[in-house]
Amino acid sequence: MEPSQFEPGIPISEQAAKHVLDIVFLQHKLETRYGVNSWLEVGGELSLRATLIDVTFSDANGDELPAFSSVHHRDETVMGLADPALKLHFHVLSPEGPGDARVVLSTGVSIPIGMTEEDPFKAGAEGREHQHMFFGYGIFAPKLGLRWTQPFKNWSLAGWTDSTFSFYANDKGYQPPSTHVLGLGAQSSFGLEDWWFGLEPRLMMEVPARWDDQRAENSGRNDLLGAFMAGVSVGKGWSLSVDVQTTLVSFSQRGNQMVLPGVGILSVFWGAPLGSEVAR
């Protein structure tokens, strides 16, 4: 146990030697798109996130300390909105036939209305209870993405990138990390009319966050992820999808990072397709 994690007012001999946290992260996302014309869609995203935390304290011998309490960690559920985003989707290459590729360039910005916190490292050093989990950036963060889809007879291949950029700090001195995700995978309906399924590896790169222009501890990582996706159409323009990803390889981590064995995302999507009667 690092001295910075010791609890205030408790002798060293009575400190917990280990804080073991089991964390479940869930996200529910609503995404919309509206076809303005043959090459442009406008859209938005809104996510509700929840983190369920269960902590166990133990002494140097590995025995649990059920009565131990900490300003750093506790059993809790943290829930809140992430910053919503507004986006434009430009269809720079549109298919003219069933076997033609599609390329979509997306750009947008997140709106800082999600939950934020004060510097947890400063609060911890002062012996105050604090929170490391929060879902808002507190800044207007530009977004940029690119998606390529190539259909085949009974399946399709898709590659995509999605980046969120952080250029300044919020009013609490927090500059969130810039993140970049690249994915390449295959999808198929397996002959089912309203369903689709997919598998893909993803490379996630996170630039370390900063507090008061100092690099945030335990921030910054590069992970190779594996993802399974499934979706179903449930009505005119509406669909549901599930995205479950797990960490295959984690490398270039900064500090004592969390291990993320699984993250689940449930998405609800409404879209008025380009050229459809709804869009017009």
Q: Which CATH number fits the domain that encloses residue 78?
A: 2.40.160
Determine the structural domain holding residue 255 and report its residue range. Answer: 3-272
246 within a domain of the structure (yes/no): yes
Question: Is the residue at 277 inside a domain?
Answer: no
Angle among Cα 242, 248, 251 to the nearest 5 degrees reads 125
Q: In tens digits, what is the pLDDT along the chain, a chain of 280 residues?
A: 555 566 666 666 666 767 777 788 888 889 999 989 889 999 999 999 988 888 888 877 777 777 777 777 777 888 999 999 999 999 999 988 888 999 999 999 999 998 888 888 787 777 777 777 888 999 999 999 999 999 998 999 999 999 999 999 999 999 999 999 999 999 999 999 899 999 999 999 999 999 998 888 778 889 999 999 999 999 888 999 999 999 998 876 655 566 667 788 889 998 765 544 333 3
- Checking 201-204 for CB contacts under 8 A at 24+ apart, the result is 201/225, 201/226, 201/227, 201/248, 202/226, 202/227, 202/245, 204/179, 204/180
Task: Dig out the tokens for 217 from the structure.
Answer: 């501890």
- Is 107 a domain residue? yes
CA distance linking residue 161 with residue 145, whole number of Å: 5
Say which amino acid occupies 116. Answer: T
Q: How far apart are CA 86 and CA 42, in angstroms?
A: 8
CB 220 within 8 A of CB 257: no
DSSP state string for 188-226: E-TT-SSEEEEEEEEEEEEPPPEETTEEPTT--EEEEEE
For residues 196 and 180, give the distance between their C-alpha atoms in angstroms, rounded to a whole number. Answer: 26
Provide the domain count of the chain. Answer: 1
In a domain, 278, yes or no: no
With respect to residue 164, please indicate whether it lies within any of the assigned structural domains. Answer: yes
pLDDT at 201: 97
Is 196 a member of any domain?
yes
Residue 279 lies in a domain: no
